[in-house]
Structure 1
């Protein structure tokens, strides 16, 4: 991936994060019946939502590039099958951590919201993995599930500590959108660059055969 393609990924992810935050914030505002004092306050609210979405996108991209580095190192340390098993184990542990950890250590309060959050992350991961496999190959299933579940779980640790359901919803939904977008577009950016680099060689082979 060259600099131009990385820049394309960067600003498009920013827009998706901002759009996701705007949509989530406005829907939550309507559901809760909240109102602003005039046009000026409403525009300020939109600006805050936009800025928050941009920051969520940057946070998502940091997690994505950390995953790429981790995936590169994992492939170098473990055999192919072994690295897949490691990812599956970490994915299951991360999902169980999100859904049930605070249910057992959080005292008397029931943590149904954590279970719902885990199911939401799982549903987003399954849909993203299905689309990714349809676009590429079955080998993309485990890495996609690992990124969408394990990495997203790590990225949501900060908001889970706040322990406010509204804040969790506002952060997680744009985060899932950004993560899914980056995972689904990655192979297109990489494959195009590889195809362009391989094209002259292919032409030369055809010319030599001719």
Structure 2
């Protein structure tokens, strides 16, 4: 990935995060009937929502590049099939940690809220993986599921510890949107500088 492609990915992901935070934040404030005293309050509120979304997008990008490095090392150390099994196992463990282990082992979970969030995240991860496979190759199924579940849960665990559903929704929505956008756009960002290779040899382009 050259600097031009990285800058494109950075700024577009920044826009996705800011837009996601703005939309979710305004919807939450609308349901709470928040009072705004004049145009200044409205502009400041919008600026705060956009700023939080931008910071969430940067956090998401840090996680995404950590995933790319982990995936690169995993493919180098293990066989392709073994590394996929490892990713699948880690994804399942992260999902169980979110929905059950935090509640029954760590006594940190919120029961119903964690289960609902876990189910929603799984549905989104499967949907993103489906579209990724449609755009690339069937080998992208497990890596996409792994990133969308394990890394998203790892990134959001700090907010989950706060135990406030509104805070979780405000941060999780743009974070998931940024993660989904990055994994779906990756092969398009890398394609200009790579000639076509068979799916088994494309590595991170398809994954």
TM-score if structure 1 supplies the norm length? 0.89
> Partner of 1:103: helix, strand, or coil?
helix
Instruction: Return the alpha-carbon distance in structure 1 between the equivalents of residues 100 and 73 of structure 2.
Output: 30
> Partner of 1:162: helix, strand, or coil?
coil
Q: Where in structure 2 are the equivalents of 1:1-210 lying within 5 Å? A: 1-105=1-105, 111-195=111-195
> Partner of 2:100: helix, strand, or coil?
helix
Instruction: Return the alpha-carbon distance in structure 2 between the equivalents of residues 195 and 66 of structure 1.
Output: 25
Alignment deviations for residues 44-73 of structure 1 (CA, whole Å, 9 cap, x no partner): 111000000000000000000000000001
2:202 corresponding residue in structure 1: none
Gaps of 5+ in 2: 197-207
Instruction: Return the alpha-carbon distance in structure 1 between the equivalents of residues 167 and 126 of structure 2.
Output: 24
1:105 to partner: Cα distance: 3.9
Instruction: Return the alpha-carbon distance in structure 2 between the equivalents of residues 138 and 17 of structure 1.
Output: 28
> Partner of 2:195: helix, strand, or coil?
helix
1:106 to partner: Cα distance: 6.1
Instruction: Return the alpha-carbon distance in structure 1 between the equivalents of residues 137 and 31 of structure 2.
Output: 40
Q: CA RMSD in A?
A: 1.6
Runs of 4+ in 1 over 6 A off after TM superposition: none
Instruction: Return the alpha-carbon distance in structure 1 between the equivalents of residues 108 and 169 of structure 2.
Output: 23
TM-score if structure 2 supplies the norm length? 0.91
Instruction: Return the alpha-carbon distance in structure 1 between the equivalents of residues 68 and 46 of structure 2.
Output: 33
1:119 to partner: Cα distance: 1.1
Alignment deviations for residues 109-152 of structure 1 (CA, whole Å, 9 cap, x no partner): 85110011111211111111010000000000000000000000
Instruction: Rate the CA distance shift 1:110–1:161 in 2: closer, same or farther, 3 A.
Output: closer
Aligned residues: 196
| Structure with the greater alpha carbon radius of gyration | 1
Instruction: Return the alpha-carbon distance in structure 1 between the equivalents of residues 162 and 7 of structure 2.
Output: 32
